[in-house]
A and B are shown apart, each in its own frame.
Chain A
Amino acid sequence: RKEVEQDPGPFNVPEGATVAFNCTYSNSASQSFFWYRQDCRKEPKLLMSVYSSGNEDGRFTAQLNRASQYISLLIRDSKLSDSATYLCVVKGGPGTSYGKLTFGQGTILTVHP
């Protein structure tokens, strides 16, 4: 089983649509969870951290279910500028106490006019 698994997509949605991405992780001892965004041939950039209580940042809502080892990202009112690859990222767990990030394959989103 992959350490962090995502639906690779691609997701093609019109502007204004709501889109949801899902992610599962295999290490139940993982401690911290993130969504990063990666534009084509660029570095990953932190979009938002994901907390157990769920959290929202503008049009973006992230949820974490530790029991199911499941993370989600919801984007409302999609903009053209949201087109990117969204990376589910997990940190921590046994033997990884020094900040190692484990990345999923990424989900490609294209928002069209």
Chain B
Amino acid sequence: EPEVTQTPSHQVTQMGQEVILRCVPISNHLYFYWYRQILGQKVEFLVSFYNNEISEKSEIFDDQFSVERPDGSNFTLKIRSTKLEDSAMYFCASSLLAGGYNEQFFGPGTRLTVL
């Protein structure tokens, strides 16, 4: 069964460093998303991406964040200068279509720890 994959599973970084979180969405999907979950809190939407551009982004997704689909398979989230409060689980998701009851499939997540 097709699945979304993410690497690395755990990333430890120093405050102020840049990190890139990588995702491989399901191959025929057209819409891609990043969510994050701070420990003990709810899952929060960061950004959606379609046709090589951002469709929607949340207030969390400020200038420190960027997304890219550098080739036909990878979808990346870059945090330019990490802060302590960026420590969270980051989930990538993909869907064939965006609206209605089209299912979003989530990857296993990358745990980001900022020291």
Return A35 CB to nearest CB of chain B, in Å. 12
Binds B, one of A9-17, A18-26, A69-77, A93-101: A93-101
User: Is the beta-carbon distance between B107 and A43 smaller than 8 angstroms?
Assistant: yes
Task: List residues of chain A with CB within 8 A of the CB of B31.
Answer: 98-99
Return B29 CB to nearest CB of chain A, in Å. 11
Chain A residues in the interface with B (C-beta under 8 A): 31-32, 34, 38, 41-46, 49, 51, 87, 91-92, 95-106
Chain B residues in the interface with A (C-beta under 8 A): 31, 33, 35, 41-45, 48, 50, 55-56, 58, 89, 91, 95, 98-104, 106-109
User: Quick one: which of B41, B50, B103, B109 contacts A98, CB cutoff 8 A?
Assistant: B50
User: Is the beta-carbon distance between B106 and A44 smaller than 8 angstroms?
Assistant: yes
User: Quick one: which of B91, B95, B99 contacts A43, CB cutoff 8 A?
Assistant: B91
Closest 7 CB pairs of A and B: A99-B98, A98-B55, A43-B106, A103-B43, A98-B48, A105-B42, A98-B98
User: Is the beta-carbon distance between B99 and A99 smaller than 8 angstroms?
Assistant: yes
Return A8 CB to nearest CB of chain B, in Å. 10
Question: With A99-B31, A100-B56 as given contacts, are A44 and B99 in contact (CB-CB < 8 Å)?
Answer: no
Q: A-side binding surface: helix, strand, loop or mixed? A: loop
Once bound together, how far apart are the Cα atoms of A51 and B104, in whole Å? 17
Question: With A32-B100, A32-B101 as given contacts, are A99 and B33 in contact (CB-CB < 8 Å)?
Answer: yes
Return B28 CB to nearest CB of chain A, in Å. 16
Taking A43-B109, A100-B33 as known contacts, 6 extra A-B pairs with beta carbons closer than 8 A to each other, sorted by chain A number, are A46-B104, A91-B99, A99-B31, A99-B33, A99-B95, A103-B42
User: Is the beta-carbon distance between A102 and B45 smaller than 8 angstroms?
Assistant: yes
Return A90 CB to nearest CB of chain B, in Å. 11
Task: List residues of chain B with CB within 8 A of the CB of A32.
Answer: 99-101
Across the interface, name the chain B residue whose C-beta is closest to A45: B106
Question: With A43-B91, A44-B43, A87-B43 as given contacts, are A99 and B102 in contact (CB-CB < 8 Å)?
Answer: yes
